[in-house]
A and B are shown apart, each in its own frame.
Chain A
Amino acid sequence: MTLELLEGHPVHRLASRYYDRDLRIQPVRHDPLYASTLLRSPTHPPLAVGETIADLSGPVFGHLKPGPLDNDLIGNFASGGLALGERIIIHGTVQDQNGRPVPETLIEIWQANAGGRYRHVRDGYLAPLDPNFSGCGRCLTDRDGRYTFKTIRPGPYPFKNGGCAWRPSHIHFSVFGATFTQRLVTQAYFEGDPLIPLCPIANTIKDPRALRTLVATLDMSAAIEFDALAYRFDIVLRGRHATFFENRTEGV
């Protein structure tokens, strides 16, 4: 191991430290109300650590050319028909905590169909599969950090939690950001859904204001006449401190 090996190593872009994650707005890890956490939550708190490779860099997908239907879940699995259910647009922006848009970042979504059933080998819920719906979509944000998906509103579904536990309608979101430190996997809920306050998973977030940021709001301005309602879901990834050293050479 020599430093010569690393000489002229360009400073990895966006290499400054990120704001510490505010754990008060994050879900608690261990929650007796959500049974699956009991054996799956580490008992040691996560260790604070200095700079890691997650701050220095992260996967980029700018070269990825999503197919024309990758963000159209009504059409991307169509086999002779269109997905059943309430047609919706879900759209918004991805920005960092400093309000800067995050362009060309990969968003992946997955969801149940209108009946609350996932197209997954392990989902055996009573509701039928929709032959025209997979529930899988992806897109890159544009240069202004915007994204949009066309889909159907997923149905609620019950899950094993001891007792009568139901998930509100939700869409799972995975977002990358510029470095791995910004990586986020979360869920978008729907404004006005009475199941949200009852859901053990949504309520692993104890701060009501933080939970509200996961609720997509009805956005009639983006609805498509005689086609689809629209919901808006904006995403904020971790921001970094102001001092950064883009394109300087390390060790010089």
Chain B
Amino acid sequence: MLPETPAQTAGPYVHIGTFPYAAGLTIGWNARLHELVRDKEPGEHIEINGMIYDGGNAPVTDAMIELWQADTNGGFHRSSFPGWGRAVSDFTTGEWTFRTVRPGPVLRRDGSVMAPHIMLAIFARGVNGHLSTLMYFPDDPDANSRDPILSALEPARRVTLVAKRQPNAEIHSYRFDIFLQGDSETVFFNI
């Protein structure tokens, strides 16, 4: 078995290669990679935003965040829905945003069902290998309580993975702040 190539930090200029528009470039990806849905996309459209905080409670303003999720029926690659997106934490405030659809539950090969959730991966300076976490929804506590990953966590850590509803007249909106260290450190997985 070959050894895996080790990771290195994405560094502060990750945007040049992965989100050139944010770096001030006109070549490469020109899409708005944080918007996974167009008007007619089936499913419930939602918005997610948040910040990443470091151990000193300062917002991380140079991260690139990747999203991976199932479609509205819990499937992958079955429609035009890409399931994948990228966002950049604002260079001043640290705020990032995605527009997507609420994913359906996902069936695992062992027959267990994962509650609707979204996977997020953080790439940034000082982060030597990307950090993976899972965001669950607050609206479906029953599904969450049966989720094989969420239910295995102790309650104090489980709450770090559940987004909060926030008022928005236009679209269902969720807030998911990520804490790299400290009392409310987000649960990260060895994915």
Complexed CA–CA distance, A77 and B106 (Å): 43
A190 within 8 A of partner (CB): no
CB-nearest residue of chain B to A234: B5
Q: Which of B42-50, B167-175, B179-187 contacts A (4 or more CB under 8 A)?
A: B179-187
Those 10 A-B pairs whose CB atoms lie nearest each other, nearest first: A36-B126, A110-B17, A59-B84, A40-B126, A57-B76, A27-B128, A39-B55, A110-B16, A46-B190, A39-B54
B6 within 8 A of partner (CB): yes
B2 touches A120 (CB 8 A): no
Question: In angstroms, how far is the closest chain A Cβ from the Cβ of B114?
Answer: 7
A219 within 8 A of partner (CB): no
A120 touches B126 (CB 8 A): no
B8 touches A185 (CB 8 A): yes
Q: Would you give 13 A-B contacts (Cβ < 8 Å), ordered by A?
A: A1-B105, A34-B128, A37-B126, A40-B124, A53-B68, A97-B3, A120-B16, A122-B62, A134-B28, A138-B28, A172-B11, A235-B5, A250-B109
Residue-wise, chain B 17-36 has the 8 Å CB interface mask toward A (1 for contact) of: 11010011101100000000
A110 touches B13 (CB 8 A): yes
Indicate which residue in A15, A22, A47, A120 contacts B4 across the interface (CB closer than 8 Å): A22
Interface residues on B, range: 35 or more
Interface hits, A164-206 → B, CB 8 Å: 172, 174, 180-181, 183-187, 201-202, 204-205
Residue-wise, chain A 38-79 has the 8 Å CB interface mask toward B (1 for contact) of: 111111111111111110111110000000001000001100
Question: In angstroms, how far is the closest chain A Cβ from the Cβ of B26?
Answer: 9
Further pairs besides A186-B6, A214-B5: 7, Cβ < 8 Å:
A1-B115, A39-B181, A50-B110, A108-B17, A235-B5, A236-B5, A251-B107
Question: In angstroms, how far is the closest chain B Cβ from the Cβ of A32?
Answer: 12
Question: In angstroms, how far is the closest chain B Cβ from the Cβ of A23?
Answer: 8
- Chain A interface residue count, Cβ-Cβ cutoff 8 angstroms: 92
In the complex, what residues of B have CB within 8 A of residue A237's CB? 4-5
Q: Which of A5-13, A83-91, A140-148 contacts B (4 or more CB under 8 A)?
A: A5-13
Indicate which residue in A15, A98, A108 contacts B18 across the interface (CB closer than 8 Å): A108
Indicate which residue in A44, A123, A201 contacts B185 across the interface (CB closer than 8 Å): A44
In the complex, what residues of A have CB within 8 A of residue B16's CB? 110, 118-120, 134-136
B7 touches A27 (CB 8 A): yes
B55 touches A29 (CB 8 A): no
Question: In angstroms, how far is the closest chain B Cβ from the Cβ of A187?
Answer: 4
B62 touches A49 (CB 8 A): no
A137 within 8 A of partner (CB): yes
CB-nearest residue of chain B to A239: B1
In the complex, what residues of B have CB within 8 A of residue A52's CB? 114, 119, 134, 149, 189, 191
CB-nearest residue of chain B to A118: B13
Complexed CA–CA distance, A5 and B72 (Å): 10
CB-nearest residue of chain B to A238: B4
CB-nearest residue of chain A to B123: A185
A40 touches B55 (CB 8 A): yes
Indicate which residue in B4, B23, B117 contacts A236 across the interface (CB closer than 8 Å): B4
B189 touches A41 (CB 8 A): no
In the complex, what residues of B have CB within 8 A of residue A21's CB? 4, 190
Indicate which residue in B106, B130, B187 contacts A53 across the interface (CB closer than 8 Å): B106
